[in-house]
Amino acid sequence: MKPSPLTYHRPRSIDEACQILADVAHEGKVLAGGQSLIPLLSMRLAAPAHLVDIGSIPRLDAVSSSRELGVTFDALTTHSVLEADRGATQVQPLIGRGLRLVAHPTIRNRGTTVGSIVHADPSAEMPAVLALLGGSVTVRSVRGVREIRSTDLFAGPLETTLEADEIATSVTVPAAEPGVGTAIDEIARRHGDYALVGVAAQVRVEGGAVAAARMTYVSAGELGEVVDYTDVLRGASATDDRDPLWRNLSEFARERIDTEPDIHATARYRSQLVAALTARVGFAAAQDAVLDGAAVHASAGGR
């Protein structure tokens, strides 16, 4: 199929792009990498009257990172560029871990991480990563600039709180904290497919035991929801997954997280994946925290 008729705009500055969106009101769509939007246009699941292609705007693809300010990446930064940025993935390792699961290299070479986040697909990895890390999105319009916290960003599947005349220009996520580990994993029918279920976890470890645990889900639960498992996991061993608390977590997650059936999997099967992955990914995050603590100790001269 082909997209429905539309007017194509190719602005040369972010101000020009904002003005176009202000002029066309709710009839415009922003195109960056296009790996999510173009298929929707081709299948006519989206039919905007105006397409605003920001791909030629200069200096909109930067990546910056520091332990103090975290990681910031701009609207035209592709998945592959961000994944290869050693500064970004060292300051916040979950970025690289999440991006490795996104589709295939061909898609990552064109798709943009900011675009994936504001596309708000419940089956995509990076919205879950943003929600778990508690980052924010910077948006611009002719009315000015504002920050949207991750907790306020997602309004539902494929829906955000951006106004029709706003463009997401960058995303910022905080740096990893000492003693806090992260992990992400998913089950898909084939490598590169959308996940049947995915889990991202952030676990704080103190004295070899879990002190706090939070997780988000891909293709399960509510988009952008962060589930706090601290009460379930507090005191669990960070080095022994035979601890009964990890088994308890599986069953708790099965009851806590809602799943829906589709042509790829039943709700019951997805629920089983939730149970298995929650414990597996949570324990991996706990181990990551232990390894991080050991590295900090070694760098300080400890033995």
Mean pLDDT, the chain, whole residue set: 95
pLDDT tens digits, 198-248: 999 999 999 999 999 999 999 999 999 999 999 999 999 999 999 999 999
Answer yes or no: is pLDDT of 298 > 90.
Answer: no
pLDDT tens digits, 86-125: 999 999 999 999 999 999 999 999 999 999 999 999 999 9
- pTM score: 0.94
Confidence of residue 294 (pLDDT cuts 50, 70, 90): low
Residue 5 burial (CB count, 10 A) = 7
